[in-house]
Structure 1
C-alpha cells in the first residue's frame, strides 16, 4: 500500500508571545503544495524503515519510526516494512517530516483497518510535531496556538504558478525564534490573507524573515530576485530556509538554479 506525502508552505506567519511551556504562540496560514515524498508499507516479519532519496541526517530513525511505535504499541499491530523515498527538502520549512508522519498514520489506519476518525488521527499526529496534524485533512488553514489549532479557510492558488527555492543553508529554528521581535497587535493575518493575492506583498508577512535575512543576506536576495522576476507574492516558508513565489504565468529562472534547488509546482 503506497501514498505520496506532500509539502506545505506558510503563506504568512506571526509570532505572538512566548508561552510558559517554552513554546511560542503563533498565527500562520498553511497551504498544501504538490511536492511529494513516496511512502509504502508492506507485510514483513519484523518492522524496519528503509529510506532512499534525500539522506536523513539522523540515519533514518525519523518520525515514521515513532508513528509505528506509537500505533503499533496501542493497537498491537503486526510488523511491517516502511519504505520512504525523500524528495521534499529536509529542514527547509516545507513540513516534509511532519507530512511523512501524518500520511503514515493515515496509511496504517487503512492498512490495518483501524477505523480511526480524522480527529483521532490528528491527536496522534500532534504528538509528533506542531504542524503534523495539518496533513491529516491536508487543506488550507489558519493555524494558531503553537500551530496546531486549525480553522479551515478558502484559498485556491491553482490558477497560479508556484516555484520553491531551497538554498543550501540550514536555519536553526531556536535561533530564528530568539531573534523575533514579538508583536501581538496591529496585524490581522486571518483577514488579510483573504484579500486579493496582488495585495499580499504589502500586507502579508513572515516574522522570521527579518532575523534570517540579517544573518543570511543571500536568502533575502533570493526573495528580491523572485520579485524582480515578476512574482505576485514571495516569502520564506516557516523559519526557512526555503522561499516560495507565486507567479501569474510560468517562468524559468536558470540563474537561481545554479546555486539552489528550484522546484516548479
Structure 2
C-alpha cells in the first residue's frame, strides 16, 4: 500500500489582470501549500475503485477516478487499484481539495504502477483535469501567471495559518462570470508583488454575495492579517506561532470549521514521496 497526502493550498494573493476573448481570465497569484489536507491510499487490485463516495459526486465525475483513467489512457496501463480517500478539506472552499486529490492520484498511481512518467509530463496531463492540478504535481510554492498555467518557483515566508470555513460553497464559475469582478489589476513582476500589500481581487465580490464570508473575515481580522483564498469561501489569518493561531481558533464562533497549519514551500506530497 502507498499512502500519500493531498495538501491544501492557499492563494497568498490573487489579482485578475484581464479577460480573454474565450472567457478565460489572466491572473497573477502566489500559491503556497500547508501541512494539512486530504489523504489517499493506493493498493494493487484487478479493477479501479474509489471509496468512500463523496456526497453529490458521481464516481465517474470524481477527479480522482478521472485522473486514474487519464493516466491509464496516456500510458496504456491496464492495471487496477483500490483507492481510499480520507476527506478533510471542504468542497468549494478555495483550498484546492479536488485538484490536490487529482494530483496525488496521478503521482501515487504513477508510483504504484511503476510507470515512471516524468513529473512535468504528469503536470501537463493534470491540466486536462483542472487549472490548479499542475501546481500540486509540481509541488513547489509558485507565482502563477497567464490563466494560471505559467509558473515561477517562489519562496515566501512559511508562517502559521489559521484557516476558517464560513460554511458556504462558492461556485468559481459564478465569480468569474460576474460583471462586478475587477479585471484590471496591473501586471507586475513577482518582486513588485512581494513588496506591496497583498490582496485578493475576488474577495469583495464574494463578501457581497456571501455575507457569511464577510462576517467571519471581519472577526478574524481582529486577530491577524487575514484574506480569502482563491474564489473562497475559506479565509486565512497569518500568525507568528502555532500557539497564537490555536488560541485564536479556540475563540472562533460556534460551529466554525477551522484548522491550524504551517505554510510549506515544498508540498507535503513531495516530502512523503521522497520517503517512500
Regarding TM over 0.5, the answer is: yes
How many residue pairs get aligned? The number is 252
Q: Which residue of 1 aligns with 2:24?
A: 23
Q: Distance in 2 between matches of 1:105 and 1:164?
A: 27
Q: Which residue of 1 aligns with 2:270?
A: none
> Which of 208, 217, 223 in structure 1 is aligned with 2:211?
217
Kept in 1, the 8 Å contact 2:168–2:212? The answer is: no
Where in structure 2 are the equivalents of 1:1-265 lying within 5 Å?
Answer: 1-51=2-52, 55-60=54-59, 61-74=61-74, 75-157=76-158, 160-177=159-176, 178=178, 179-185=180-186, 188=188, 190-195=190-195, 203-229=197-223, 231=224, 233-249=225-241, 250-251=244-245, 252-253=247-248, 254-265=250-261
Unaligned runs of 5+ in 2: 262-276
- TM-score, with structure 1 as normaliser: 0.89
Q: CA RMSD in A?
A: 1.8
In the TM superposition, residue 16 of structure 1 has moved relative to its aligned partner by 1.6
- TM-score, with structure 2 as normaliser: 0.85
Where 2:136 maps in the other structure, the secondary structure is: helix
Q: Distance in 2 between matches of 1:156 and 1:117?
A: 29
In the TM superposition, residue 193 of structure 1 has moved relative to its aligned partner by 4.5
In the TM superposition, residue 58 of structure 1 has moved relative to its aligned partner by 1.1
Where 1:194 maps in the other structure, the secondary structure is: helix
Kept in 2, the 8 Å contact 1:164–1:245? The answer is: yes
- Runs of 4+ aligned residues of structure 1 deviating over 6 Å after TM superposition are none
In the TM superposition, residue 167 of structure 1 has moved relative to its aligned partner by 1.2
In the TM superposition, residue 8 of structure 1 has moved relative to its aligned partner by 0.1
